[in-house]
């Protein structure tokens, strides 16, 4: 009779009486460290890291890339403000008069841009009237394509010039400037603005090539020995999606160029059906 309240009053009694109440809760065996268990946990960790990498690559780089490329465009003092705000179609901005459009002469020479310098913007009505992306010098991933968006192959022609204005951009990840490249139709307008000129190109075709097919960015696409026979622009991007096994190439030819400061190309206001 006297032992019973004693157990209640002092659960830590040395006689071990407390096991009667709390024993089963604490009776779990201490986890033993086994090689297999540690390997298993490391594999789970590796799986989590791989999963996080995929989330980073497919989601986070787009968030960062969109924001960074947007800021770059907004900081360009000469970029058309109506284009940046994405309301060209609704605002009453002037369009370039026909007598200012040039098709057979080089535009006024611009200083060749420094490596990583952003010297142009690109607009593609097919990809929406709010599509405007910066074009920067160089085509390496670490310096240009990942942080800055569209890159210009060094040494290729500048916008409007005789030769091939060749550019490259990600189709997935890092803001994916050329994500919807497969939606372009023949005749679609590709519009480039520099500080001095607007250059309007028209899509003439597309092709899927091997990553080593550098002849597509020759001064005359696919005719490396021919020299510059026209005013071309060539887009290169990844194919298939989420892979770099091949390249998707879009060919285009200059429709006209015109000096800036006299309105925007009418093509900007015509979002294709």
Partner 1 sequence: MISTWMWSRIPGPVALKVLLLLVVIVAAVLVLFEFVFPWVSTIVPVSDPTLEEAGS
H/E segment holding residue 144: none
Residue 269's contacts (CB-CB under 8 Å, 6 or more residues apart) are 88, 89, 95, 129
**Whole-number Å distance between alpha carbons of 49 and 64:** 20
CB of residue 87 to partner 1, shortest distance in Å: 30
H/E segment holding residue 53: helix 35-55
The site for partner 1, by CB under 8 A, has a size of: 41
**Rounded (5°) CA angle 13-16-18:** 75
- Among positions 114, 140, 183, 226, the unique one binding partner 1 when judged by CB under 8 A: 140
H/E segment holding residue 258: strand 246-259
**Stretch 244-263 residues interacting with partner 1 (CB under 8 A):** 244, 247
Q: Which CB sits closer to partner 1, 146 or 267?
A: 146
213 contributes a contact to partner 1 by CB under 8 A: yes
Distances (CA, A) of 244 to 170, 211, 239: 10, 8, 6
- Among positions 165, 178, 256, 257, the unique one binding partner 1 when judged by CB under 8 A: 178
Neighbours of 38 (CB within 10 A): 10
Q: Which CB sits closer to partner 1, 22 or 262?
A: 22
Binding-residue pattern over the window 101 to 130 for partner 1, x denoting contact by CB under 8 A: ------------------------------
Q: Where are the beta strands (DSSP E) in 74-216?
A: 118-123, 132-137, 150-152, 163-168, 189-193, 197-209
Instruction: Classify the C-alpha dihedral 259-260-262-266 as positive or negative.
Output: positive
- Among positions 7, 18, 57, 269, the unique one binding partner 1 when judged by CB under 8 A: 57
Q: Which CB sits closer to partner 1, 53 or 112?
A: 53
Contact stretch for partner 1 (CB under 8 A) within 13-21, 102-110, 173-181, 253-261: 173-181
Q: Contact positions toward partner 1, by CB under 8 A? A: 31, 33, 37-38, 41-42, 49, 52-53, 56-57, 60, 139-142, 145-146, 151, 153, 168-174, 178, 211-214, 216-217, 236-238, 242-244, 247
């Amino acid at each position: 009779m006297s032992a019973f309240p004693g157990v209640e009053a002092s659960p830590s009694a040395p006689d071990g009486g407390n096991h009667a109440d709390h024993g089963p809760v604490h009776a779990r065996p201490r986890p033993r460290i086994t090689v297999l268990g540690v390997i298993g946990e490391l594999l789970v960790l590796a799986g989590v890291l791989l999963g996080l990498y995929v989330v980073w690559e497919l989601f986070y780089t787009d968030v960062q890339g969109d924001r960074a490329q947007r800021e770059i465009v907004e900081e360009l003092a000469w970029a058309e403000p109506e284009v940046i705000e994405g309301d060209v179609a609704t605002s009453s901005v002037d369009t370039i008069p026909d007598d200012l459009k040039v098709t057979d002469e080089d535009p006024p020479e611009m200083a060749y841009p420094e490596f990583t310098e952003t010297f142009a913007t690109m607009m593609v009505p097919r990809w929406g009237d709010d599509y405007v992306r910066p074009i920067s010098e160089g085509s390496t991933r670490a310096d240009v394509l990942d942080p800055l968006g569209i890159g210009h192959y060094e040494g290729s022609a500048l916008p409007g010039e005789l030769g091939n204005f060749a550019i490259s951009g990600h189709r997935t990840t890092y803001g994916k400037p050329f994500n919807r490249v497969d939606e372009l139709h023949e005749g679609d307008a590709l519009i480039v603005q520099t500080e001095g000129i607007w250059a309007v190109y028209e899509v003439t075709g597309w092709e899927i090539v091997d990553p080593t097919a550098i002849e597509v960015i020759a001064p005359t696409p696919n005719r490396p020995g021919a020299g510059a026979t026209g005013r071309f622009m060539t887009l290169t991007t990844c194919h298939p999606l989420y892979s770099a096994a091949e390249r998707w190439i879009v060919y285009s030819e200059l429709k006209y160029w015109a000096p800036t400061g006299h309105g925007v190309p009418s093509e900007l206001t015509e979002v294709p059906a």
